[in-house]
Structure 1
Amino acid sequence: MTTAVNPNALWAGIVVEQLARCGLEAACIAPGSRSTPLTLAFDRHPAIQVYLHLDERSAAFFALGLAQATGRPVALVCTSGTAAAEFHPAVVEAYQAQIPLLVLTADRPHELRESGANQTIDQVKMYGDHVLWAMDVALPEAAPPAVALRNLRTLAARAYACAAGLRSGPVHLNFPFRKPLEPASPAAFQAVEEQVAALFAQPPGDLTVAHGEIQPTPTQVQRLAEAITGAERGLIVCGPRRAAAAGPDFADAVTALARASGYPILADPASGLRFGPHVADAPLVGAYDALLAAGDVPWPPPQLVLRLGAVPTSAALNAYLERVAAPTVHIRSSGVWADDSHLVHSFLQADPTLTCRRLAAELSPRGLGGWAQGWLAGSRAAGQVLAEAVEQGDFEGAAVAAAIDGLPAGANLFVGNSLPIRHVDRYGLPRLKPLQVFVNRGASGIDGITSTALGVAAAAPDRPTLLITGDISFYHDMNGLLALGQFGLGRFGVVLLNNRGGGIFRRLPVARFEPSFTHLFLTPHDLRFELVAQLYGLAYQQVAPGPAVGTQVSACLAEARPTLIEVPCDSAQDLAMGQAILQRVARVALQVDERQN
Structure 2
Amino acid sequence: MLSSANRNMLWASIFVDELARAGLRAAVIAPGSRSTPLAFAFAANRQITVHSLLDERSAAFFALGIGLHSGRAAALLCTSGTAAANFLPAIMEANHARVPMLVLTADRPPEARASGANQTVDQVKLYGDQVRWFQEVALPEANPSDLMLRYLRSMADRAVALAMGTPAGAVHLNFPFRKPLEPTIVDGDVPNDPAGSGVQSAHEPQLRISSGAQSPRVEQVRAVAEALHSAQRPVIVCGPRCGGAGFADAVQRLAVQLRVPLLADALSGVRFADRPAGAVEVVFGLYENYAGSAVLPQPDLVLRFGAPPISAALERLLDGSSALQLLVSESGTYEDPVHRLGALYQCDAAELCALVSAELVSRSMRVATGWTAQWAGCEARAATVIAAEFASDAVEGSVVATVGAAQPEGVPLFIASSLPVRHLDQFAAPRATLMPVYCNRGASGIDGTISSALGVAASSGQRITLVLGDLAFYHDLNALLALRRCGLQAIIVVLNNNGGGIFRRLPVAKFEPTFTDLFVTPHGLEFSGAAALFGLHYQLIVEIREFKAAFHAALAGYENQLIEVQTDSAAHEVARQRIIAALRPAG
Tell me whether the two structures share a fold, i.e. TM-score over 0.5.
yes
CA-to-aligned-CA distance 1:115-134 (integer Å, 9 cap, x gap) = 10000000000000000001
Secondary structure of 1:151's aligned partner: helix
**Which one of the candidate residues 573, 578, 581 is aligned to 1:580?**
578
Matching of residue 355 in structure 1 with residue 352 in structure 2: yes
* Offset of residue 186 of structure 1: 11
1:437-483 Cα shifts (integer Å, max 9, x gaps): 0010000001000110111111122x231111000011000011001
The CA RMSD measured in Å over matched residues stands at 2.2
Deviations 1:204-224 (A, max 9, x none): 974211102200112221222
Describe the shift of the 1:154–1:297 C-alpha distance in structure 2 as closer, same or farther (beyond 3 A): farther
Residues 292-315 of structure 1, C-alpha deviations (whole Å, 9 max, x = no match): 2xx534232111111111111111
Q: Identify which range, 114-123 or 3-12, moves more after superposition.
A: 3-12
Q: 1:188 to 1:428 in 2, by over 3 A?
A: farther
Instruction: Identify which of 247, 252, 255 aligns with 2:249.
Output: 252
Are 1:279 and 1:431, in contact at CA under 8 Å, matched by a contact in 2? no
Letter in 2 for 1:271: S
- 1:20 and 2:20 equivalent? yes
Give SS of 2:303's match.
Answer: strand
**In structure 2, what is the equivalent of residue 235 of structure 1?**
235
SS in 1 for 2:584: helix
Quote the Cα distance in structure 1 between the aligned partners of 2:205 and 2:256. Answer: 49
Q: How does 1:353-502 map to 2 (within 5 A)?
A: 353-364=350-361, 369-461=369-461, 463-490=462-489, 492-502=490-500
Contact 2:264-2:284 within 8 A present in 1 as well: yes
**For 1:174, what is the secondary structure of its paired residue?**
strand
Secondary structure, counterpart of 1:312 in structure 2: coil
Cα–Cα, structure 1 residues 53 and 162, in superposed 2: closer, same or farther, change >3 Å?
same
Alignment pair present for 1:264 and 2:261: yes
* 1:211 match: secondary structure: coil
What is the match of residue 127 of structure 1?
127
Indicate conservation of the 8 Å contact 1:408/1:554, yes or no: no
Name the one with the larger helix percent: 1
CA 1:276–1:186 in 2, change beyond 3 Å: closer, same or farther?
A: farther
Q: Does 1:160 align with 2:160?
A: yes
In structure 2, the partner of 1:291 is: 290
Alpha-carbon distance in 1 for matches of 2:270, 2:193: 50
Following the alignment from structure 1 to structure 2, what is the Cα–Cα distance between the partners of residues 22 and 552?
45
Q: Which residue of 2 aligns with 1:513?
A: 511
Counterpart residue identity of residue 39, structure 1:
A
Q: After superposition, what is the alpha-carbon deviation per residue over 1:157-204, rounded to whole angstroms, capped at 9, x for unaligned?
A: 011000011210100000000001133259999x88962534314699
1:315 matches 2:327: no
* Cα distance change of structure 1 residues 194 and 62 upon mapping to structure 2, 3 Å threshold: farther
CA distance in 2, matches of 1:519, 1:317: 32
Look up the SS of the partner of 1:200 in the other structure: coil
Moved over 6 A (4+): 186-189, 191-194, 202-205
Q: Offset of 1:348 from its aligned partner?
A: 0.6
**Greater mean deviation of Cα atoms: 371-380 or 36-45:** 371-380
Residue segments in structure 1 that go unaligned for 5+ positions in a row: 591-597
Residues 499 and 523 in structure 2, CA contact (< 8 A), matched pair in contact too: yes
**Would the alpha carbon gap of residues 344 and 193 (structure 1) be closer, same or farther in structure 2, given more than 3 Å must change?**
farther
- Between 341-350 and 214-223, report the one with greater CA deviation: 214-223
In structure 2, C-alpha distance between the alignment counterparts of 1:202 and 1:575, rounded to whole Å: 63
Report the Cα offset of residue 581 of structure 1: 1.4
For the residue of structure 2 that corresponds to 1:277, the secondary structure is coil
What residue number does 2:299 align with?
302
Whole-angstrom distance in 2 between the partners of 1:567 and 1:187: 62
Aligned residues: 579
Structure 1 residue 569 corresponds to structure 2 residue 567 = yes
CA–CA distance in 1 between the matches of 2:7 and 2:186?
15
AA partner of residue 500 (structure 2)? G
Partners of 2:393 and 2:414 in 1: how far apart?
22
Structure 1 pair 551/141, CA: closer, same or farther in 2 (3 Å)? same
Q: Is the 8 A contact 2:415 2:437 kept in 1?
A: yes
* 8 Å CA contact retained: 1:399, 1:545: no
Could you list the runs of 5+ residues in structure 2 that have no partner in the other structure?
Answer: none
Does the Cα contact within 8 Å between 2:157 and 2:206 map onto a contact in 1? no
State the match for 1:595 in structure 2.
none
| Cα distance in 2 for residues equivalent to 1:296 and 1:426 | 15
Cα gap change, 1:138/1:297 in structure 2, threshold over 3 Å: closer, same or farther?
Answer: farther
Give the match's secondary structure for 1:195: coil
Deviation at 1:240, TM superposition (A): 0.6
Aligned residue for 2:371, secondary structure, equals helix
Name the counterpart of 1:327: 324
CA distance in 1, matches of 2:35, 2:545: 49
Look up the match of 1:148: 148
After TM superposition, the score normalised by the length of structure 2 is 0.94
Q: Deviations over 1:38-71 (max 9, x none)?
A: 1000010000000000000110001100110111
* Structure 2 Cα separation of the partners of residues 438 and 465 of structure 1: 10
State the shift of 1:393 in Å: 3.0
CA–CA distance in structure 2, aligned partners of residues 354 and 7 of structure 1: 49
Task: Decide whether the 8 Å contact of 1:280 with 1:432 is kept in 2.
Answer: no
Farther off after superposition, 29-38 or 249-258: 249-258
Give me the whole-angstrom Cα distance separating, in 1, the residues matched to 2:344 and 2:172.
29
Structure 2 equivalent of residue 116 of structure 1 = 116
Q: Does the 8 Å contact 1:331/1:350 carry over to 2?
A: yes
Q: How does 1:149-188 map to 2 (within 5 A)?
A: 149-185=149-185
Secondary structure in 1 aligned to 2:196? helix
- Give 3-state SS (helix, strand or coil) of 1:346's partner: strand
Counterpart secondary structure, 1:132: strand
Alpha-carbon spacing, 1:484–1:403, altered in 2? closer, same or farther (3 Å): same
1:474 maps to a residue whose letter is: F
| Structure 2 Cα separation of the partners of residues 202 and 373 of structure 1 | 61
Contact 2:293-2:583 within 8 A present in 1 as well:
no
Instruction: Identify if the C-alpha distance between structure 1 residues 479 and 547 changes in structure 2 by more than 3 Å, giving closer, same or farther.
Output: same
- 3-state SS of paired residue (2:310): coil
Q: How much has 1:526 moved relative to structure 2? A: 1.3
Closer/same/farther in 2, CA of residues 517 and 582 from structure 1, 3 Å limit: same
Give the secondary-structure state (helix, strand or coil) at the position aligned to 2:377. Answer: helix
Distance (whole Å) between structure 1 residues aligned to residue 179 and residue 496 of structure 2 = 49
Look up the SS of the partner of 2:58 in the other structure. helix
Could you say if the C-alpha distance between residues 304 and 85 of structure 1 is closer, same or farther in structure 2, counting changes exceeding 3 Å?
Answer: same
Give the CA deviation at 1:279.
7.1
Q: Quick one: distance in 2 between partners of 1:390 and 1:182?
A: 60
Aligned partner of 1:338 in structure 2 is 335
Structure 2: distance between partners of 1:459 and 1:194: 37
Deviations 1:310-344 (A, max 9, x none): 11111111111000132111111111111111111
Aligned runs of 1:488-567 on 2, under 5 Å?
488-490=487-489, 492-567=490-565
Distance 1:518 1:159, change over 3 A: same
Match of residue 594 from structure 1: none
